[in-house]
Structure 1
Amino acid sequence: MQQIQTLNYRIDEQHARVLAFIDGQEIALPALWLRERCQDSENVDETTRHRLFDPHQLEADLALTHVEKKGEMQASLTFSDGYSGDYDLSRFNADFDYLDGAPVPRPWKSDIDKAVFHVDYHALHTDKGLIKGIEKFLTYGVIIVDNVPQNLDATIEVAEIFGHVRETNFGKSFEVYSRPNSSDLAYRSVPLGPHTDNPYRDPMPGIQLLHCLQNQAGEGLSTLVDSLSVLKQLKHELPDGYKMLCEIPVRFRHFDSDVDLVERRTIIESDASGNVTGIAYSPRLDHLPLLNDDDLITFHTARKRLGQLLSSPEFEWKFCLQPGQLQMFHNTRVLHGRTGFDPNKGLRHLHGAYIDYDAPKGRYKLLKQKMRAQ
């Protein structure tokens, strides 16, 4: 996704038009579009910015009848339904910010300088440090928080700095250590390939936090991989299969003694604008869709290659998460896993929690506004 580079407006009094120039492309803003965005206090609550009228009931064939320029970004607009109001055109800028105030995502591979991921726990308790931390997270899909106190409360504290804890059937938080006969392989000592957590849930958790309390085993390396980089390569190699992974849903399932969760979704995930945001990927939990032989081969070939790329040293970063470090990652963009370990060599104990993805984005925008005001 690319940010708009240039955005300007022109008020055309002669032809009663308001024009936007978006990266050099001229667009006449429709009368109905402008009428819905009226800005006066009789129609818009000044505190909440909620409308005091129902724009869904406006006439579809509304027209601009008069346009008067009142300043470089100021205009008075009159419409065919009799409404007239003053407009600050700069308020339209947010309509053309397709990242909604967030930084541009930067796909990365395993050779990236890992220093860009690190933030300090204490710095997150200041507005400046928190803005920097969220900006790193939104850009790379992951941060490593250093110097986190080695207790269970600290995991929840960090989660609540960024958002609100998302409780699941695993609880408000969960502890990851070897437990024989557990209901999830995460609680065993077996290796886990790169995967998305909870693809069987609607909605999936947006963000996962994993806080290392102890790692005496000397094994069980953490792994992270940016699916945005992997998907770019997959699309180049297998465009037909890539397209199928974008369009054909698969079935994911998790069950235990308390719940049976099933969800159908495409492996490649996109937002409402069609921009790829990540993947729902878990070879332990998915089921091939029923397709004809040729399509099934194409689909499976792409899925197989996706798995190979996710585990490729070119893309996958392996590291030892140290006690007092916490990794926070965008669950569907940056896939996580671990190498196997011998629990008899010592305790490997992580504490985890989930939060939703929208909270850090919202806090980032508000903090940026606060800093600008100061």
Structure 2
Amino acid sequence: MNTIEFIFEQTRPAVHVRLRGELTELPALWLRERTQDPLQLDSKTQQRLFDSHAIDPDIVLRSVEPITATQAWLEFSDGHRSLYDCSRLGAELSQDDGLPTAIAWDSSLDQAAMRFHWPDMAAPTGFLAALETYLKHGFIILTGVPTASESILEVASKFGYLKETNFGRYFEVYSRPDANDLAYTGVHLGPHTDNPYRDPVPGIQLLHCLINETSGGLSTLVDSVRVVSELAATDPEGYRLLKDTAVKFRFIDRGTELVSHKPIIKTDAQGRTLGVHYSPRLDGLPLIPVEHMKAFHRARQRLGQLFCDPAYEIRFPLRAGELMLFDNSRVLHGRTGFDHSEGRRHLQGCYIDLDGPRERYASLHLQPETEKDAA
């Protein structure tokens, strides 16, 4: 975390903060909303006991009385007076959410470091290591998962909260007649994200192998954070179009039609790439001026080429008892083709919400070290 310095000015009442070499005055309105007065802030939940939306937008600081380098009494024009410990404002000012920083990866990734033994998840230290790796890289592979049907649901509940869809609580992945999705055939599946036609899109996907008697059907994964950074560096205008232009995604099944409009590239408030909504089987070119459409299509085409470039892809067989868990927006998944006449290949899949691993990680970090070691 960057060092934060607070500067209290008394002559003209003001609170300044120096962060990343820049000096910024904290507005009185911003400070008033963040009062630490125990009569206005619940000590247990840290939720406000007053309506901050009712604060006068023209509120000003009347006085600043420093106590320490980070503490001062602040009095506002609405008569409110409170002792502020400004160090408690550090997390908001630094924009550090306390989670591991994402690490972009390509085909050189050490795949062995992504693998964890499912029985080890019973110990907080083992579970924390798996969560940290997932939050950094967007995926992990679990080994030693029982191959009994629905074992995936136990893993899902360990990492988060199950998201049920029209496919059910979980879905079966094997070749079948009259398949309503190409995943249920033996054909090659290029890199894609699941269900971009939903709102919200499923956050995390789990795929658990129960049986694999085929020589093909290798699982493939690609990190969109790494690929999008390459696109942004080589085609900034194309990157902007894919980030700012909404695309229609559509899925049709018996009695079901789902449609959503969203950009292909997904970013956060700071402009950092979070992932993509990408499925060449389900999207459609937006109706925009033809020159923009051509530029959009060229950028989309280039993005697809990068996703398929072996320099960015890892591939591996998902064997019986192995389960991969991945961020459905950040990490694109696919599969090489296979011949189902060689033998059976049966996977079960499900979705969980994106915030599950983040919550589990934060909760484990709040545990005293003695509890982690004893468990």
- Please classify the TM superposition score into its range, dividing by the shorter chain length: over 0.9
Shift of 1:97: 4.1
1:130-182 Cα shifts (integer Å, max 9, x gaps)? 22211111110111112111123321111111110000000111111111211
- Secondary structure of the equivalent of 1:93? helix
Q: Shift of the alpha carbon at 1:242?
A: 1.4
Aligned to 2:3: 6
The AA in structure 2 aligned to 1:36 is E
Task: Tell me how far apart the structure 1 counterparts of residues 230 and 272 of structure 2 sit (CA, whole Å).
Answer: 16
Which residue of structure 2 lines up, in the alignment, with residue 147 of structure 1? 144
1:217 equivalent to 2:205? Answer no
One-letter code aligned to 1:31: A
The letter for the 2-side match of 1:270 is T
| Superposed displacement of residue 355, structure 1 | 0.7
What is the CA-CA distance between 1:335 and the residue it aligns to?
0.2
SS in 1 for 2:163: coil
Could you give the per-residue CA deviations for residues 93-126 of structure 1, whole angstroms, max 9, x where no partner exists? 2213434111111110011111231222122222
Which whole-Å CA distance do the structure 2 matches of 1:11 and 1:142 have between them?
45
**2:71–2:83 CA contact under 8 A, matched in 1:** yes
Deviation at 1:13, TM superposition (A): 3.5
Aligned equivalents of 1:96, 1:180: Cα separation in 2: 56
Say if 1:6 and 1:24, in contact at 8 Å, map to a contact too: no
- CA drift of 1:244 comes to 0.8
The 1-side partners of 2:252 and 2:94 are apart by 41
Rounded Cα–Cα distance in structure 1 between residues aligned with 2:309 and 2:61 = 57
2:27 to 25, 30, 45: 30
Contact 1:211 1:326 in 2 (8 A): yes
Structure 1 segment 1-374 matched on structure 2, within 5 A: 5-371=2-368
Deviations 1:220-275 (A, max 9, x none): 00000001111111122222211111111111111111310001111111123432
Segments of structure 1 that go 5 or more residues without pairing to the other structure are: none
Matching residue's letter, 2:285: L
Q: Which moved more, 1:17-26 or 1:174-183?
A: 17-26
Aligned residue-pair number:
371
Distance (Å, rounded) in 1 between the aligned partners of 2:127 and 2:20: 32
Change (3 A) 1:16 1:372: farther
CA distance, structure 2, for counterparts of residue 106 and residue 133 of structure 1: 15
Q: Which amino acid aligns with 1:172?
A: R
Change (3 A) 1:160 1:99: farther
Greater Cα offset, 26-35 or 12-21: 12-21
| Equivalent-residue separation in structure 2 for 1:366 and 1:69 (angstroms) | 35
One-letter code of the match for 1:255? I
1:181-205 Cα shifts (integer Å, max 9, x gaps): 1111111111100001000000000
Letter in 2 for 1:346: G
Identity %: 46
| Equivalent position amino acid for 1:87 in 2 | Y
Letter in 2 for 1:309: L
Contact 1:32 1:60 in 2 (8 A): yes
Secondary structure in 2 matching 1:329: strand
Residue pair 2:102, 2:135 contacting (<8 A) in 1 also? yes
Q: Secondary structure at the match of 1:203?
A: coil
Partner Cα distance (2:224, 2:27) in 1: 38
Structure 2: segments with no counterpart, 5+ residues: none
Q: Work out the CA distance in 2 between the residues paired with 1:303 and 1:185.
A: 22
Instruction: Report the residue type matching 1:212 in the other structure.
Output: C
In structure 2, distance between residues paired with 1:373 and 1:56:
42
Which of structure 1's runs of 4+ aligned residues deviate more than 4 A?
none
Q: Contact (CA 8 Å) 2:146, 2:321: kept in 1 or not?
A: yes
Moved more, 88-97 or 304-313: 88-97
Q: 1:152 aligns to what SS in structure 2? A: coil
How far did 1:373 drift? 8.8
Q: For the Cα contact (< 8 Å) 2:2–2:94, is it kept in 1?
A: no
C-alpha distance 131-14 of structure 1, shift in aligned 2 (>3 A): farther
